[in-house]
Chains A and B, each alone.
Chain A
Amino acid sequence: MNFATAIRSSRGLPQFTALALVFAANWMVFPDFFAIELRGGRLFGSLIDVLNRGAPVAILSIGMTLVIATRGIDLSVGAVMAIAGATAATLTNAGYSLAVVLAGALAAGLACGLWNGVLVAVVRIQPIVATLILMVAGRGIAQLITEGVIVTFNTPDLIAIGSGSLLGLPSPVVIMAGLLAISLILVRATALGLLIEAVGLNERSSAYAGIDVRTLTITVYVWSGLCAAIAGVIVAADIRGADANNAGLWLELDAILAVVVGGTSLLGGRFSLSLSVIGALIIQAMNTGILLSGFKPEFNLIVKAVVVFLVLLPQSPAVLQRLARAGRRRAP
Chain B
Amino acid sequence: MIRRLLPLIATLIVFVLGYLYCMYQFPGFASTRVLGNLLTDNAFIGIAAVGMTFVILSGGIDLSVGSVIAFTGVFLAATIGWWGIHPLAAFVLALILATAFGAAMGWVIHYLDMPPFIVTLAGAFLARGIGFLITTDSIPITHDFYSSLSDFAIRLPGGGRLTIVAIVMLAVTAIGIVIAHLTRFGANVYALGGSRTSAELMGVPIAATTIRVYALSGLLAGLAGIVFSLYTSAGYPLAAVGVELDTIAAVVIGGTLLTGGSGYIFGTLIGTLIQGLIQTYITFEGTLSSWWTKIVVGMLLLLFILLQRGLTQMGERRASGAHP
- The residues of A with any CB-CB pair to B shorter than 8 Å are 73, 123-126, 128-130, 132-141, 143-144, 148, 244, 253, 256-257, 260, 266-267, 298-306, 308-309, 312-313, 316-319
Contact across chains for B117 and A137 when beta carbons are under 8 A apart: no
Task: Tell yes or no: B84 within 8 A of A by CB.
Answer: no
CB distance from B311 to the nearest CB of A (A): 13
Is B125 a contact of A302 with CB atoms below 8 Å? yes
Residue of B nearest to A245 (CB): B291
A308 contacts which chain B residues (CB < 8 A)? 118, 121-122, 125
Restricting to B82-129, which residues have a CB under 8 Å from any CB of A? 111-115, 117-118, 121-123, 125-126, 128-129
Q: Top 9 A-B pairs ranked by shortest CB distance?
A: A137-B298, A301-B129, A140-B294, A302-B129, A318-B113, A298-B132, A140-B295, A143-B291, A305-B126
Asked if B122 and A305 make an inter-chain contact with CB atoms under 8 angstroms apart, the answer reads yes
Rounded to whole angstroms, the CA-CA distance of A309 and B120 in the bound complex is 11
Bound complex: CA A135 to CA B298 (Å): 8
The number of residue pairs between A and B whose CB atoms lie closer than 8 Å in the complex comes to: 115
Query: How far in angstroms is the closest Cβ of chain B from A26?
Result: 19
- Whether B249 pairs with A132 at a CB distance below 8 angstroms is yes
- How far apart are A51's CB and chain B's nearest CB, in angstroms? 23
Minimum C-beta distance from B118 to chain A (A): 5
Query: What residues on B are CB-neighbors of A123 within 8 Å?
Result: 306, 309
CB neighbours (8 Å) of B112 from chain A are 313, 316, 318-319
**Cβ-neighbour of A133 out of B114, B293, B301 (below 8 A):** B301
Task: Kindly state the separation between the CA atoms of A253 and B122 in the bound complex, as whole angstroms.
Answer: 10
* A/B interface sample: 27 pairs, CB < 8 A: A73-B117, A125-B309, A126-B259, A128-B61, A129-B301, A133-B298, A136-B298, A138-B298, A139-B294, A140-B291, A144-B291, A256-B121, A266-B117, A266-B118, A298-B133, A298-B136, A299-B133, A301-B125, A301-B129, A302-B125, A305-B126, A305-B129, A306-B126, A308-B118, A312-B118, A313-B112, A316-B113
Residue of A whose beta carbon sits closest to that of B312? A124
CA distance A133 to B125 in the complex (A): 24
Given contacts A148-B289, A301-B125, A319-B112, contact A129 B298 (CB under 8 A): no
- Complex CA–CA separation, A130 to B115 (angstroms): 19
Cβ distance B112 to chain A, nearest Cβ, rounded Å: 5
Which residue of A has the minimal Cβ distance to B112? A316
Q: How far is the CB of B219 from chain A (nearest CB, A)?
A: 21
Shortest distance from the beta carbon of A109 to any chain B beta carbon, whole Å? 18
Given A140-B293, A299-B133 in contact, is the A134-B298 Cβ separation under 8 Å? yes
Q: Looking at the assembled complex, report how far the CB atom of A309 sits from the nearest CB atom of chain B, in whole angstroms.
A: 6
Which chain A residues border B292 with CB–CB below 8 Å?
A: 140
Compute how far the CA of A215 lies from the CA of B130 in the bound complex, rounded to whole angstroms. Answer: 45
Q: Which residues of A contact B125 (CB under 8 A)?
A: 301-302, 304-305, 308
B211 contacts A by Cβ under 8 Å: no
Does B297 have its Cβ within 8 Å of any Cβ on chain A? yes
Q: Determine whether the beta carbon of A129 is less than 8 Å from that of B126.
A: no
Scan residues 172-189 of chain B and give those whose CB is less than 8 A from a CB of chain A. none
Residues of A near B302 (CB, < 8 A) are 133
